[in-house]
Amino acid sequence: QVQLVESGGGLVQAGGSLRLSCAASGDTVSTYALGWFRQAPGSQRKFVASIGWAGRISVYSDSVKGRFTVSRDVAKNTVYLQMNHLKPEDTAVYYCAADDVMNAAGMDDPDYWGQGTQVTVSS
């Protein structure tokens, strides 16, 4: 079992930055890839970024590539999402996720989810 707790969401103006954190716990968490999805109102949950269990390999969606950076503190079992140059279309609930498989497209079917944190970008 893996537990995920997000923090760091909030309201920011377009062009600004936010950093999300996700603290992961559980006996096997160190073997899981960790990542982020987001869900805007009226839309499906979509993959944002993920990072492998060792923190060396990361994958990004095209919509955030070059603006967002995912990182992982292996010792603390924490994953971060640094979001720069934020746009109003980045507004969504952001979910932390854990998956025992990560491929070139990121995460297809995470095994665990956090409760979500709201990010709102004003224009």
The CA distance from 17 to 68, in Å, is 9
Element (DSSP H or E) covering residue 113: strand 112-113
The CA distance from 16 to 52, in Å, is 27
What's the mean pLDDT when you consider all of the chain?
96
What are the residue ranges in the chain where pLDDT is below 70?
none
For 58-67, what is each residue's pLDDT tens digit? 999 999 999 9
Q: What is the pLDDT of residue 27?
A: 86
For 67-89, what is each residue's pLDDT tens digit? 999 999 999 999 999 999 999 99
Cα separations in angstroms, 9 against 19, 72, 96: 8, 18, 12
